[in-house]
Structure 1
C-alpha cells in the first residue's frame, strides 16, 4: 500500500497547531481544579502547595503554549521516521509474535529484586507518573483512537493497522507534556499536581483533536486499513478468518445457503464462519418479536446467534409484508391539531420554550419539499422491508430492527426541536442500509453512523427556536447532507464520515468567528479572578502590619479593598518581575502615617510636603485599576477630613496669631478601626471594572446609581473592601413575563430557594440553558464560573456574553427565567430506552411464571 506523505504531514501540522489551544484549555481547567482543591483543603501545608502549583502553572502557560506544539512536531517527525523504518522491516509471522510475547512474559517473570535495584528511583518515579497520566487519558480517546489508527496506518502506507507506529498516539502527547513540566524546574511535588489535574482535560482535548483529524482524513477520501487477525494456539488449524466483505453471502435464493452447503459466508459485521465450519441452524423469524431472548442477546451481548441463517418461512412473511405495503395507499398525515387552520402561525407566535410538543415518530409524514420521496412513511417502510428481504443472517434482521426502534426513540425526544427529530426520521433509509453491512454500528460511540446522529443532535442544542434565522442557517446543510446520504449506496461507514466532516467543517468556521470575542471576554474574567486572588493575599499581608494601630476603618477598608486590587493589577501586568511594580506598595506606610493625628500634628511640614505625591500615586493606582472616580469619592473626602487638622495649623501665621485666637479647636478625631475592620476578608467574588462589566455582558444589570457601594452577599453586608459586581435588577420585561406566567392556567410554580441552589450547583461549563433576556428567550451555554461559584458567564448565539452573579442566577431560576437544558447523549438515551423495552417485559413476566 502506497503512503500519502502530503496527507500525513498535513495531519501532523494540524495536530501541532491544535495542540496550542488544547494545552491552554488544559492549563485553565487544571488551575480551576487546583483552586477548588485549595479552598476545600483543611491543611495549611496542603493549601500552600496547591496555591503554589496553580500560580506556577499560570506563569508557565504563555511559554508552554508556544513550546508544546514545537516539541510535539519534533516528536511527530521522529516517530514518522521510526515508523517508516519499522514498516520496511519484514513483518513477523503470527508464530514469531506469539513466541516473542511468551519470551517477554518469561523474561519479566524472571526479573529479580536485584534487577530493580539498578534502576534509579527518579526513573521509576518518572515511569510511574507517565503511566498514570496515560491511564487517565486513554479511556477518553479509546473509541476515536481506534478509527484514527486505521486511517493513519493507511497514509503511512502500512498494509495493516499498527497502533504502535501512529506518530499521534496519546503517549506522545502525554510524554511531551511531562517532559515540558519537568523542564520547568518546579518541585517534583508541584509537577505531580500539575499532571494529576491536567490528565482529565488532556483526555478531553485529545478526543476533540482526534475527531478533527478523523474528519480531515475522511474528507481526503482516506480508507482505513484493516486490523490483522492473529490466530491463538486455541484456534490454530481452524477455518481461516471471518466471512466475506459483502452485506450478504452468495446463496441460492431467499432461503440463504442450500441445505448441506457449508460455504455460508458472513457479513462485514463479523458473523458467519468460513472455511470448514458447518452453517449453523436456521432461525425462524417469521413470528419474530422484538422482546425475544434472541434480541436481548443481540443488543446486550453482541448476538451469539447473529451469524445464523434465515428460514424460508421468514422470507415468506417478509414477501407478504412487502406486497401489502405496495398495495396500501399513502396514509401519512399531520396530527389533527396541526391540520387546524392557523395552528402553525399560532404555534410560531408562542414563546419558544412554551410551545407544546408536536408528535414525531417513525410513522410521521414529513415535508416533501424538504425530504422528497422519503417524506412518506410508506416509502421508508418499503425500504426497511426490502432490506429485510435481502438479509441473509439473523444479525442483519436484528440490526434493522434496532435502527427502526432507535430512530423512533430519537424522533420522540422532547429535548430536540421538531425539524431535528424529523431529520433523524428522514435519515432512516441510509441508517438501515448501513445496518445491513454493519448490524451493530449503533453500539460503537466512535462509529461514523452513530456520530453523525449524535453530533447533529448536540449541535442543535445551540438553538431553541425552529423558526429563528440562525437555526434555519444551521439546518439547511443538515438536510442537504442527509438527503445525499439517502441517495447513496451504502457499502461502509465512509459516506457518513464524509457527511459529518463536511458539516463540522462549516460548524468550525462559525465557531471560530465566535471564539475570538468569547476568548477575549474569558481572558478578562480570568484575569479579574486572578487579580482578586492576589489582592486577597495582599490584603491579608497588609492586615498583619505592625503600624495599623489607631488607623481609621475608612483607610483600612481602602487598603484591603481597592488598593490591594491596584497592587495586584500592577503585579499581573508587570513584565520586568519587579518587587514593587509602579511603587504602589511603598505608598502604604506613607498613607498609614498621614492619618495618625498625634504624629502628624508634631510634624505638619512633612505631611504637607507628602500629600500631593501621596494623592497622585493613589489616583494613579485607581486609574490603572479602571475604577470609576465616583466610587473613590467617599474615601478621598474622608482622607481630606483626616488631614484637615494639620492643614488648619499651617494657616496660623505666627505664634502671636495663635495667642490672639486662643486654643485651636480641633475636629473630633476619627475613631480607629475596630478589631473586625482590622481583619482582611477574602472577597466573595472577583471585582470587575466598568469596561470589564460591559464586555462580560453586565451592561443590562448595573445598579441605578453607578459606583454605589452595595454588598453582594448577605454575609458581607458590613464589608466595603471593594465595589462588588452589581446585582441584576428585575427589569420591566421580566416583570411582564412573570405576570403572564402567573396568570396562565398552565403556569409552572416558582422553584423553592433550595431547588434553585441545587440546580445552579449542578451546572457545569458546556451546559445549555434557556435564558430570558431583552424580551426574548435565548439558548445560551455556560462557559465560565468563578472558582468560588459566585459569578457565571453564559454565551448565546453570535458569541453574545451574559454574565451574572450567583444571586441573580438563583433568582432567575426560581422565577423560571433561567431553565437548564438536558443535553446528555441523545443516541445513548435512545438506546437505553430501546433496551428498557427489552428488559421490562422480561422482568414483568417473572412474577407471572412464579
Structure 2
C-alpha cells in the first residue's frame, strides 16, 4: 500500500470537476476585496519611503510613484481585475496544452532590452511574493490540481499562481501609461504585501475546496521495484535552479546572457576590451552550466554522460574564440553535440544493439577533440560531425533503410485513400435515397464501401483502363441505387420481380469490391446477414399495406468512429509492420531484435505522460510498452494529415500505427514521451532560467 501522496503518476488526466469553475469565481470575488486594499497599502508604503528618502532624485521618483497610485487607484483595480478574469477564462484551454519552459534561450535571443528588463521585474516581484505565499500556494495547488482533473500536482498549470498576478498587474500598469520608473517602484514596494495578500487568498481557497470535498492530488512520485520513492528530478537529473550558487554561477544574469546572445559591443576601445573579457567569461559559464545539466540527465546512459563531459574542455576553448557558438544551430560544434545526445537517446542499456559501436565512435570524437595538433580546433568539428553521420547510417542495415522508405510510400497512399474515402462517404450521404436506408447499410456504405470506391478511383487514376466500358469505380457506385432500394422494405416489397433480378449482381459486386481491398469476409458477415434478412422480409411481404415506411433515423454513420477507420490491405500492413490496436498484443508485430530496457515501467518520469496523438512530434523518442517490455522508439515520420505514424528503433526496425492506435496506447499508458526536444535545447533553456533566477535575486 503506497504512502499518502504516492499515486499513479502516469494516469491520464480526468475531466475537470464542477468545483473548478466555482473556485475560480470565488477567487475573483475575493480579489475584488483585497486588490483595492493592496493598492492603498502600496500608496502608504511609497509615501513612507518618500518621506524617509534623503536623495533628491530618488525622493522625486518615489513622489511620482505614490502620486500615480493615488490618481489611478480605481483604474488600476479595474484593469487588473479584468486582466485576471481574462486569464482565468483561458485556464481550461491552457490546462490541455503541453508544458513549456518559463523562458527559453530562443525567446531570450529575440527579446529587446525593454522586454528583458520586464522579465527581470516580474522575476523579482514573483520571488519576493513567493516568500510569503509559498506554503499556502502549495497546499492550495494540491487541491486545485484535483479539481483540474490532474492526478498529480501541477503547479505550472495553476491559473492562480503568483506569476499570473504579477504579469497581469504589470500589463495593467503599462496599459495605464504608468512610467517605467514608477512601475518598477510599485512592484518593488508592493511585492511583499502582494505575497501576504495571496497567502490569505490561497488559504481561503484551499479551505473552500476542502469544504467542497476536493482532496489534494499527489506529487510526481512513483514507487520503484524495491518500494523506493523515486522523484521526478532523480529521473531527469539535478535541476540547475536548486542548491547554492558559486560566485561564478551568480555572474550569469538575464541581462548579461541577453547581451552575450545579441553581441552587444557598444563603447570605445577600452570598453570593447572589457566587454570581450566579460563575453568570454559569460560564454564559459553558459557552456559549464549546459554541460552540468547534460551530465545529470539520466535519459542518457552513464558512460555516454562521462564521455560528453570529456568534450567540455574543447567546448570551453571554442567559446573563447566563438562565444555564441552554442546558440547557433548551424554551428558544427553545436550540431555535433546535438547529434551525439540525440543518438544516445536510442539506448536504454549498455547491452542494446548498436550501443557498443556508438560508444566507440563517441570515444573517437573525444580523442580527436583532445589531441594536440596543428589543426585548428574549430576545423575538427565539421569532420567529426560527418564521421558521426556516416557511422549512424552504417548502423542501420541497407535493407532496413529501404524498407522504411517503402513503408513511408505505402502509408502516404493509404492516407490518400482514406481522405478520398471520407469525401466519397459524404457523396453517399448527399444521395436523396440515403436517409431512409436502414442504419447497418448506411454504416457499411460510409465505412468499408467508401474505401472500396476510393481504391478503385486511385487505381484508375494511376493506371487508366485500356479497354472501353464503364470503369470499375463507376460500377461500384452504380449498384447503390439497387442496394439502397432493395434494403427498404416499403419499396422493395412492391416490386418482387425487380428484387429477385437485382439481388445476385448486387451481392456479386459487393463481394468483388471487398476482395479488391483484401477485406476479411468475417468482418462483413454480419452486414450480409442483415442485408439478406431485409431482402427476405421484402420478398415475403405480400401487400404494400403491410410494409410501413421505415422511420427516419438519425444518421449514426456521421458519428460512427468506424467511418474514420483506416483500412490496410494485407500486403500494405506487412510492408509497414502495421500495429492493429484491435488485436491482442501477442499477435502484433514487434521489434524482435530490440532489447528491453533495463528498468521497470514505473520508474519512468511522470512528465512523460502524453495526452493524445496530436502532441507527437517527428524526431521525438518514446518508450513503448509491449508484451511486458518497455522499448525505446523514435517517431520517424507522420503523415501530412496526422492519421498515420511510423516509429523506428536505432537499429532500423519500424512499426506503423494509426492515430486511433496511438491514442489507445496513450489511454492505456503504454506510450510515454522520453524527449520531444533536443537535450541541448533543454540544457540551454535551463541556463536561461538560471539567469532569470539570478536576476530576480539582485
Alignment partner for residue 512 of structure 2, among 614, 620, 631? 620
Distance 2:611 2:300 in 1: 25
Distance 2:386 2:671 in 1: 34
Tell whether the 8 Å contact from 1:794 to 1:802 is kept in structure 2 after alignment.
Answer: yes
Match of 1:630 in 2: 522
Alignment partner for residue 300 of structure 1, among 247, 255, 259? 259
Match of 1:777 in 2: 630
Tell whether the 8 Å contact from 2:579 to 2:656 is kept in structure 1 after alignment.
Answer: no
Alignment partner for residue 483 of structure 1, among 343, 367, 392? 367
Match of 1:588 in 2: 480
Measured after TM superposition, the shift of residue 587 of structure 1 is 1.5
Aligned to 2:564, the other structure's residue is in SS state coil
Distance 1:785 1:562 in 2: 24
**CA distance 1:292–1:584, change in 2 (3 Å):** closer
1:364-383 to 2 correspondences below 5 Å: none
Distance 2:271 2:429 in 1: 83
Tell whether the 8 Å contact from 2:421 to 2:453 is kept in structure 1 after alignment.
Answer: yes
Measured after TM superposition, the shift of residue 802 of structure 1 is 4.0
Distance 1:669 1:437 in 2: 90
Measured after TM superposition, the shift of residue 767 of structure 1 is 2.0
- Does residue 451 (structure 1) correspond to residue 304 (structure 2)? The answer is no
Match of 1:689 in 2: 568
Tell whether the 8 Å contact from 2:420 to 2:454 is kept in structure 1 after alignment.
Answer: yes
**CA distance 1:640–1:545, change in 2 (3 Å):** same
Aligned to 1:584, the other structure's residue is in SS state helix
Aligned to 2:631, the other structure's residue is in SS state strand
Measured after TM superposition, the shift of residue 673 of structure 1 is 6.3
Distance 1:299 1:548 in 2: 64
Q: Which fold has the larger relative contact order, with Cα–Cα distance below 8 Å and residues 6 or more apart in sequence?
A: 2
Measured after TM superposition, the shift of residue 398 of structure 1 is 5.8
Distance 1:536 1:553 in 2: 18
Alignment partner for residue 378 of structure 2, among 493, 496, 512? 493
Aligned to 2:354, the other structure's residue is in SS state helix
1:295-314 superposed Cα distances (whole Å, 9 cap, x missing partner): 97487334759987999xxx
**CA distance 1:303–1:608, change in 2 (3 Å):** closer
Measured after TM superposition, the shift of residue 493 of structure 1 is 1.6
1:118-141 superposed Cα distances (whole Å, 9 cap, x missing partner): xxxxxxxxxxxxxxxxxxxxxx9x
- Does residue 555 (structure 1) correspond to residue 441 (structure 2)? The answer is yes
Tell whether the 8 Å contact from 2:250 to 2:694 is kept in structure 1 after alignment.
Answer: yes
Distance 2:516 2:549 in 1: 31
Unaligned runs of 5+ residues in structure 1 are 1-139, 144-286, 312-391, 650-663, 705-725, 732-736
Distance 2:606 2:254 in 1: 45
Match of 2:403 in 1: 517
Measured after TM superposition, the shift of residue 496 of structure 1 is 0.7
**CA distance 1:602–1:504, change in 2 (3 Å):** same
Alignment partner for residue 427 of structure 1, among 311, 318, 321? 311
1:57-206 to 2 correspondences below 5 Å: none
Aligned to 1:591, the other structure's residue is in SS state helix
- Does residue 672 (structure 1) correspond to residue 525 (structure 2)? The answer is no
Measured after TM superposition, the shift of residue 452 of structure 1 is 1.1
Using the size of structure 1 for normalisation, the TM-score is: 0.43
Aligned to 1:493, the other structure's residue is in SS state helix
1:729-744 to 2 correspondences below 5 Å: none
Distance 1:411 1:766 in 2: 22
Residue-pair matches, total: 432
Aligned to 2:477, the other structure's residue is in SS state coil
- Does residue 545 (structure 1) correspond to residue 431 (structure 2)? The answer is yes
Match of 1:530 in 2: 416
Using the size of structure 2 for normalisation, the TM-score is: 0.52
Match of 2:346 in 1: 462
Measured after TM superposition, the shift of residue 472 of structure 1 is 2.2
1:770-790 superposed Cα distances (whole Å, 9 cap, x missing partner): 111233221112345577867
Measured after TM superposition, the shift of residue 834 of structure 1 is 4.1
Aligned to 1:782, the other structure's residue is in SS state strand
Distance 2:253 2:488 in 1: 89
Distance 2:253 2:432 in 1: 81
Measured after TM superposition, the shift of residue 495 of structure 1 is 0.8
Match of 1:219 in 2: none
**CA distance 1:307–1:577, change in 2 (3 Å):** farther
Distance 1:756 1:727 in 2: 24
Measured after TM superposition, the shift of residue 603 of structure 1 is 5.2
Match of 2:387 in 1: 502
**CA distance 1:404–1:532, change in 2 (3 Å):** closer
Tell whether the 8 Å contact from 1:701 to 1:728 is kept in structure 2 after alignment.
Answer: no
**CA distance 1:395–1:784, change in 2 (3 Å):** closer
Alignment partner for residue 616 of structure 2, among 753, 763, 767? 763
1:59-95 superposed Cα distances (whole Å, 9 cap, x missing partner): xxxxxxxxxxxxxxxxxxxxxxxxxxxxxxxxxxxxx
Distance 1:411 1:472 in 2: 20
Measured after TM superposition, the shift of residue 801 of structure 1 is 3.8
Measured after TM superposition, the shift of residue 640 of structure 1 is 2.8
Aligned to 1:778, the other structure's residue is in SS state strand
**CA distance 1:481–1:605, change in 2 (3 Å):** same
Tell whether the 8 Å contact from 1:310 to 1:394 is kept in structure 2 after alignment.
Answer: no
Distance 1:524 1:613 in 2: 32
Tell whether the 8 Å contact from 1:791 to 1:804 is kept in structure 2 after alignment.
Answer: yes
Distance 1:288 1:598 in 2: 89
Distance 2:337 2:313 in 1: 13
Distance 1:645 1:396 in 2: 89
Of 419-428 and 809-818, the range deviating more from structure 2: 809-818
Measured after TM superposition, the shift of residue 483 of structure 1 is 1.2
Tell whether the 8 Å contact from 1:554 to 1:635 is kept in structure 2 after alignment.
Answer: yes
1:594-605 to 2 correspondences below 5 Å: 594-596=486-488, 604-605=496-497
Alignment partner for residue 566 of structure 1, among 437, 442, 452? 452
Distance 1:681 1:294 in 2: 55
Tell whether the 8 Å contact from 2:415 to 2:643 is kept in structure 1 after alignment.
Answer: no
Distance 1:482 1:750 in 2: 33
Match of 1:135 in 2: none
Measured after TM superposition, the shift of residue 416 of structure 1 is 2.5
Measured after TM superposition, the shift of residue 535 of structure 1 is 2.2
Distance 1:635 1:829 in 2: 53
1:207-253 superposed Cα distances (whole Å, 9 cap, x missing partner): xxxxxxxxxxxxxxxxxxxxxxxxxxxxxxxxxxxxxxxxxxxxxxx
Match of 1:184 in 2: none
Aligned to 1:465, the other structure's residue is in SS state coil
Distance 2:554 2:490 in 1: 23
**CA distance 1:772–1:600, change in 2 (3 Å):** closer
1:125-168 superposed Cα distances (whole Å, 9 cap, x missing partner): xxxxxxxxxxxxxxx9xx9xxxxxxxxxxxxxxxxxxxxxxxxx
- Does residue 416 (structure 1) correspond to residue 416 (structure 2)? The answer is no
Measured after TM superposition, the shift of residue 428 of structure 1 is 2.6
Measured after TM superposition, the shift of residue 497 of structure 1 is 0.6
**CA distance 1:309–1:637, change in 2 (3 Å):** closer
CA RMSD of aligned residues (A): 4.8
Measured after TM superposition, the shift of residue 528 of structure 1 is 3.1
**CA distance 1:395–1:548, change in 2 (3 Å):** closer
1:821-847 superposed Cα distances (whole Å, 9 cap, x missing partner): 234233344344445555544532x3x
Distance 1:433 1:784 in 2: 38
Distance 2:490 2:693 in 1: 85
1:292-441 to 2 correspondences below 5 Å: 292=251, 297=256, 300-301=259-260, 302=263, 304=265, 399-400=283-284, 402-441=286-325
Q: Which has the larger radius of gyration?
A: 1
Alignment partner for residue 473 of structure 1, among 347, 352, 357? 357
